[in-house]
Amino acid sequence: MQELHAHLNGSISEETMRKLLSRRNGPTADTKMMFDKGQTATLEDCFNMFKLIHQVTVDTESVYMVACDVIREFAADNVKYLELRSTPREVVATGMTKEKYIEAILQAMKDCEKENLDIIVKLILAIDRRNGVKVAMETVNLAAKYRESSAGRVVGIDLSGDPKVGDGCDFIPAFQAAKAKGLKLALHLAEVPAVEETKEILQIVPDRIGHGTCLHTEAGGSQDLVDLVTHHQIPIELCLTSNVIGQTVPHFDNHQFKFWYAKNHPCVICTDDKGVFNTTLSNEYSIASRTFSLDERTLYQLSLQSIQYIFADDSVKADLKSRWKTWEAERFPITT
Ligand SMILES: CNc1ncnc2c1ncn2[C@@H]1O[C@H](COP(=O)(O)O)[C@@H](O)[C@H]1O
Ligand SMILES: [Zn+2]
């Protein structure tokens, strides 16, 4: 499998969280940092959870530890290619600058490469829409700088944060600058109904869309949005548990996966925040399988197709594809 939509601070497992809570003052050891299975909440609850989590990842040591653990956990879940995304954060009290934050993640990526984990990891820097345009432009510049100095480990830019805050159109110049610098764009779009904003942002044709929950008319979107996304064949990163717990989708059966999959549109199954939503990528594939009656071969095809939408270069795509094909030949031998 490949995981293309995973926020670092939302991906912290219970075990890592325990280690973090024992390290410093702040939220106490029994503070809940994840939702229970089957629990529902609101997007606001999710963002409050992130605020708490950010209180325990305030120094480079914790960011490094979190990144190492998250990479190892995805590898243990059989993820062969991972694009992590994270919002560079400065914490004056601990001396963590945005540069040091990014470097801690890059160091974790490099050190994990030495562990022979059988996983390729790339990094996407996130623009939090709550932090405004100036910070967004800074993030783009940081991404360009570290793309150069990290041997291509930094691959793109994300737009995330509370979708109800601010106007995403304000960030269009930052997205254009990112594109001009050769960075890829994976943008959270239409996580809640926002037809005008989404239409305008779609004009720049992002490389991938996060969630796209409210693109289609039944979910508060519009036919124009569907036509644009279809016309440009923009892959959509779909996170089932996240959307159901956050209640932007009432039940798994109403998930937009159904709409886009039925159109044969590029769909990628992802976790979003495996820690906060208490899930794994395998679990998300199982939910998709149970909810939409997809057999193993169909899940395999979905995973194989996702390789086309990764942000790494063509040689990585070709290598992954050949590994998938080898596995296919073993798992589904042609019998005559
Ligand atoms: C639930 N749906 C979502 N919608 C929008 N943004 C989300 C998100 N889930 C996570 N994030 C974004 O990721 C940050 C945490 O990871 P990092 O500190 O960047 O590693 C959150 O603060 C939010 O900006
Ligand atoms: Zn997300």
Question: Tens digits of per-residue pLDDT, 272-330?
Answer: 999 999 999 999 999 999 999 999 999 999 999 999 999 999 999 999 999 999 999 99
* Confidence check: pLDDT of 66 > 90: yes
pLDDT category at 336 given cuts 50, 70, 90 is: low
**Which strands, in side-by-side order, build the sheet including 267-269?**
2-7, 81-86, 120-128, 154-160, 184-189, 208-211, 236-238, 267-269
Around 278, how many Cα atoms within 13 Å sit in the side-chain half-sphere?
A: 15
Question: Does the annotation mark 83 as catalytic?
Answer: no
- Name residues contacting ligand 1 (CB within 6 A): 7-10, 46, 50, 86-87, 126, 128, 160-161, 188, 191, 242, 246, 272-273
- Residue 240: strand, helix, or coil: helix
- Given a contact cutoff of 8 angstroms between Cβ atoms, the answer to whether 34 and 276 are in contact is yes
Q: Which ligand is nearest to the CA of 241?
A: 1
Q: What is the mean pLDDT of residues 93-117?
A: 97
Q: Where are the domains of the chain?
A: 2-316
- Ligand closest in space to the Cα of 243: 1
CA separation for the pair 34, 45 (Å, rounded): 11
Query: Of the bound ligands, which one is closest to the alpha carbon of residue 237?
Result: 2
The string of pLDDT tens digits covering residues 171-198 is 999 999 999 999 999 999 999 999 999 9
What average pLDDT does the chain have?
Answer: 96
State the maximum Cα–Cα separation within the chain, in Å, rounded to a whole number. 68
Q: What pLDDT digit, counting tens, does each position of 228-277 carry?
A: 999 999 999 999 999 999 999 999 999 999 999 999 999 999 999 999 99
Please give the CATH number for the structural domain made up of 2-316: 3.20.20.140
CA atoms within 13 A on the CB side of 257: 28
| Predicted pLDDT at 36 | 87
Provide the whole-model pTM: 0.97
Return the best residue to mutate from 20, 35, 49, 50 for the ligand 1 pocket (most ligand atoms within 8 A of CB). Answer: 50
Give the contacts of 27 (CB within 8 A, at least 6 positions apart): 21, 33, 52, 55, 56
pLDDT at 210: 98
The two structure tokens encoding residue 37: 């299975």
Tokens 């243990």 belong to residue: 76
Catalogue the E-assigned strands of 161-221. Answer: 184-189, 208-211
Work out which ligand 1 atom sits closest to the CA atom of 188: 5
User: Does 146 score more than 80 pLDDT?
Assistant: yes
| Residue 40 tokens, joined | 């529902």
Q: Give the three-state DSSP class for 2.
A: strand
- What are the tokens at 255? 């998930």
CA of 151 from ligand 2 middle (Å) equals 25
Convert the pLDDT of each residue in 193-209 to its tens digit.
999 999 999 999 999 99
Asked if pLDDT for residue 131 goes beyond 90, the answer is yes
pLDDT for 9-55, tens place per residue? Answer: 999 999 999 999 988 666 666 677 889 888 889 999 999 999 999 99
Ligand 1 atom with minimal separation from the 89 CA: 18
pLDDT for res 30? 66
Catalytic residue among 3, 83, 191, 284: 191
Query: 273 alpha carbon to ligand 2 midpoint, in Å?
Result: 7
Which residue has 């073993």 as its token pair?
330
Q: Residue 187 phi/psi, 5° resolution?
A: -115, 130
Calculate the alpha carbon distances from 257 to 216, 242, 309 in Å.
Answer: 11, 13, 17
